Amino acid sequence: MKRAAVLVSGGGTNLQALIDARRMGKMPSVELALVISDREGAFALERAKQNNIKISVLRRRDFASAEAYDHAFCNVLKENNIDLAVLAGFLSIIGPATLGAYRKRIINIHPSLLPAFGGKGFYGVKVHEAALNRGVKVSGATVHYVDDEVDGGEIIAQKAVAVLEGDTPETLQRRIMEEAEWQILPAAVELLCKGEL
Ligand code: GAR
């Protein structure tokens, strides 16, 4: 079994999808060993507590520099013997020390078919606003490796979801979560931990 850390900032529905997949026997190669949040009040932390998963809160403002934050982050992953870090709605940027130490062992879920609607500023519902404004008829979600280009790492998995007449950013966001994100993230985490990718 590989030890995964899930990095969160918000509601944590993707974390919940991982917890549920684990409970249903769909991630036999994965131990959800740690949840790291960059926000104290993230509801995702409640989900972790309810499921007896160790938590760690690392707030940028508690560190003097981006470098110090990066090193603290990397140390927490190492101290907990983490094999794979899973960004699931995590807002902070991963620094070079962590990226260097965990090359090809950090992945992210993004709510569009990358490279469309990715990069700096494309987060959460803003991604869906941009997709609807552009008039795309198909959107979806992507699981990709994290490297030094925001949302630019190699793609591991994607799933397409139709945009429907009358969709709002919120209805599209919800459907993409249900039909794509909560499916492909647990599947990709299991494949990686099983060593199949
Ligand atoms: C998810 O839709 C995730 O794909 C997105 O934020 C949401 C987090 O929801 N991530 C990004 O936009 C990253 N650029 P959650 O906290 O309920 O999992």
The pLDDT assigned to 167 comes to 98
191 burial class (0-12, 13-18, 19+ CB within 10 angstroms)?
middle
H helix or E strand, kind and range, residue 32: strand 30-37
CA-nearest residue for atom 15, ligand 1, is 12
Number of domains, the chain: 1
35 Cα: distance to centroid of ligand 1 (angstroms): 15
With a threshold of 0.95, does the pTM exceed it? yes
Residue-level length of the chain:
197
The pLDDT assigned to 62 comes to 97
> In the structure, how many helices (H) and strands (E) does the chain have?
7, 7
Distance from C-alpha of 152 to C-alpha of 93, rounded to nearest angstrom: 13
Q: Is 12 in the pocket of ligand 1 (CB under 6 A)?
A: yes
Q: Is 13 in the pocket of ligand 1 (CB under 6 A)?
A: yes
The pLDDT assigned to 36 comes to 98
Cis ω before 186 (30° cut-off from 0): no
**Residue 60 DSSP one-character state:** G
Domain extent at residue 53: 2-194
Distance from C-alpha of 34 to C-alpha of 51, rounded to nearest angstrom: 11
How does strand 84-87 pair with strand 54-57?
A: unpaired
Distance from C-alpha of 142 to C-alpha of 47, rounded to nearest angstrom: 23
Q: Is 118 in the pocket of ligand 1 (CB under 6 A)?
A: no
H helix or E strand, kind and range, residue 128: helix 125-134
User: What CATH number is given to the structural domain containing 162?
Assistant: 3.40.50.170
Written as tens digits, the pLDDT of the chain (197 aa) is: 999 999 999 999 999 999 999 999 999 999 999 999 999 999 999 999 999 999 999 999 999 999 999 999 999 999 999 999 999 999 999 999 999 999 999 999 999 999 999 999 999 999 999 999 999 999 999 999 999 999 999 999 999 999 999 999 999 999 999 999 999 999 999 999 999 75
The pLDDT assigned to 197 comes to 58
Q: For residue 126, which atom of ligand 1 is closest to its CA?
A: 12
The pLDDT assigned to 196 comes to 74
CB 155 within 8 A of CB 109: no
Q: Is 128 a catalytic residue?
A: no
165 Cα: distance to centroid of ligand 1 (angstroms): 23
102 Cα: distance to centroid of ligand 1 (angstroms): 21
75 Cα: distance to centroid of ligand 1 (angstroms): 25
Kindly state the tokens that stand for 99.
Answer: 């990226």
